[in-house]
Amino acid sequence: MAKLKRIMSAVLAATTIVSLTACSAGDNVSVPGDNNNSSTATTIDDEIENPVNVDDISIDAGEKVEPAVLQYLGCYDITTAGDVKPAYKYFQENYGCTIECTIVSSLQIQEKLSTAITSGESPDLVDYAENTFPLLMSKNMYTPLDDYMDLSAPQWSGLEQYINKYKWNGKNYYYPWSYDISPYFLIYNRALFEELSIPDPKELYDEGNWTWDTFKDCMQKFVDSEDGRTGLYGYAATSFIDSTGTPLISIGSDGLLQCNLVNANVERAANYMQDLKKEGLAKFATDYIDVSEEPITAGLSAFQAMGGWIITNYSKKMAKDDALDIFFVPFPRDPNADKYYYSMSTFGYLVPAGSKYAQQASVFINCCRLSVTDEDLKATTKESIMKNKKYTDEQYEFLMEFKEVQKFDAVVDEPFGLDENSGTLIKNMLNYTLFETDDEDYAGMTWTQMREASSGSIMTQIDYYNSKIKNGNE
């Protein structure tokens, strides 16, 4: 029974993290833990901990707008988060607008947003979530922004192909300001790897030799070094699949969804993950779940697979402990793929249906994107991030490499946005392919068996959305 509880806790945590990473903004802001209570945060900046000055910065985020107090519904305080605070300060000081934040867990966003729209009290900004596309878009919960945003503006250069993937009925609702080419990282204890004479994954990556094979070799050496050690824990499955170049659920140039569950590349990645499980290399350290940092800091696990937001937690630990050296790498390259493919996730804000301040909200979205592209605002944002997140220079520089989507072969995968049932089926298939379970509905099943049992329901939902997309584009 204890084992079952531990495994189910781990799986639930892994499921939750898929949502939480969608709630983390461009530089991996820490997001609140899942809870059932919402709170309204103040808009008072913490000028002692992280003062930000934008007086000497000039950007073009759009025409002047009427001053307004915007309402934000999401996972974190966008007025004080290190990577968003400079954009907010500029928006506040140059456009005369402020933002009041209502903080909720990612799992509460849909319910809270639906209630607000129905009651005529729509917020003006809401986080992109894993079920935003296509589920919430199909429910007409957002305002199209084509009349307020200019895709030809310099800050959106080269991103049109990604923005247009999220069109609904021929309109653009979502202009992501952050692009993460490695939304999940493999985190490891570099000091311990050196002590055990295990090759440094970062060096392997720099050499072009970071593959499924060298990743597995690192884990084998780590596990063999002492009894009771684990190779991998955390959320990993979609990143392995995407490294083949084939996403689970892709979005075509026509906007239609395509299911790749039966694709040979996906099958090969699933077989690789099943082998890791069989060899005891992928499992949770005893009594720990995937969001725990203890297995890495205590040397119990070789790698933690987790969204980049958790790196902040490690960097703050390192700031207090000089002996601690934690680093991270993207997921390894599929040795059979023609290129090094990376999972890509996006983050940004949408304007809910019924918002009174869509134009002001669009200006703020532009400010956020310019914090990544405008050199002056970008420099101020870096300073804010470093003070707020406590990154080392090496951590920051490496993280920022994965923000420049044009430099990578990115795979856009949207497997969890169909509906709650399909999302749960896919999550269970992915989790139980890589990690053991005592769930009687899944225990002992192979990827192929789980896929065959679930694909009919998933395809029905995809066909439903594709029908709506076709009708909307006619």
Q: Could you list the pLDDT tens digit for every one of the 474 residues in the chain?
A: 334 334 444 444 443 333 334 344 433 333 322 333 333 333 344 667 788 999 999 999 999 999 999 999 999 999 999 899 999 999 999 999 999 999 998 889 999 999 999 999 999 999 999 899 999 999 999 999 999 999 999 999 999 999 999 999 899 999 999 999 999 999 999 999 999 999 999 999 999 999 999 999 999 999 999 999 999 999 889 999 999 999 999 998 888 999 999 999 999 999 999 999 999 999 999 889 999 999 999 999 999 999 999 999 999 999 999 999 999 999 999 999 999 999 999 999 999 999 999 999 999 999 999 999 999 999 999 999 998 899 999 999 999 999 988 899 999 998 999 998 999 999 999 999 999 988 888 988 999 999 999 999 999 999 999 998 888 755
Give the chain's domains with CATH numbers: 33-179+347-389 (3.40.190.10), 184-343+413-473 (3.40.190.10)
Q: Tell me phi and psi for residue 275, to 5 degrees.
A: -65, -40
CB 181 within 8 A of CB 342: yes
For the beta carbon of residue 194, count every other beta carbon within 10 angstroms: 12
Residue where the block lists tokens 């269970």 = 428
Residue where the block lists tokens 């495994």 = 7
**Residue 317: predicted pLDDT:** 96
- Extract the tokens encoding 302: 């070789």
The burial class, CB within 10 Å (0-12 / 13-18 / 19+), for 444 is: exposed
Q: Tell me phi and psi for residue 472, to 5 degrees.
A: -70, -25
CB 101 within 8 A of CB 77: yes
Q: Tell me phi and psi for residue 230, to 5 degrees.
A: -115, 150
The set of residues, in sequence order, having a beta carbon less than 8 Å from that of 258 and lying 6+ positions away, is 249, 250, 251, 252, 462
The set of residues, in sequence order, having a beta carbon less than 8 Å from that of 7 and lying 6+ positions away, is 284, 435, 436, 437, 438
- Extract the tokens encoding 417: 């946005």
Rounded to whole angstroms, the maximal C-alpha distance in the chain is: 65
**Residue 31: predicted pLDDT:** 32
**Residue 34: predicted pLDDT:** 31
Across the beta sheet with 39-41, the strand order is 39-41, 98-103, 69-74, 125-127, 349-350
CA distances from 400 to 2, 26, 111, 155, 372 (A): 41, 9, 34, 16, 10
Would you give the DSSP letter of residue 199? P
393-401 and 311-320 helices, crossing angle to 10°: 170
Among left, alpha and beta (phi > 0; psi -120 to 50; other), residue 26 is alpha
The DSSP element (H or E) to which 379 belongs, if any, is helix 375-389
- Extract the tokens encoding 459: 């395809």
Q: How far apart are CA 142 and CA 126, in angstroms?
A: 9
Residue where the block lists tokens 């809270």 = 112
Q: How far apart are CA 461 and CA 50, in angstroms?
A: 46
Q: How far apart are CA 123 and CA 220, in angstroms?
A: 50
**Residue 35: predicted pLDDT:** 31
Q: How far apart are CA 88 and CA 94, in angstroms?
A: 10
**Residue 471: predicted pLDDT:** 84
The amino acid sitting at 111 is E
- Extract the tokens encoding 251: 């979005």
The DSSP element (H or E) to which 365 belongs, if any, is helix 358-373
Strand partners, 234: 305
Q: How far apart are CA 140 and CA 113, in angstroms?
A: 12
For the beta carbon of residue 159, count every other beta carbon within 10 angstroms: 18
The dihedral through the CA atoms of 104, 110, 114, 120 has a sign that is positive
Strands 98-103 and 39-41: antiparallel
The set of residues, in sequence order, having a beta carbon less than 8 Å from that of 43 and lying 6+ positions away, is 79, 98, 99, 100, 101
- Extract the tokens encoding 204: 């392997």
CB 224 within 8 A of CB 217: no
Strand partners, 339: none
Q: How far apart are CA 184 and CA 182, in angstroms?
A: 5
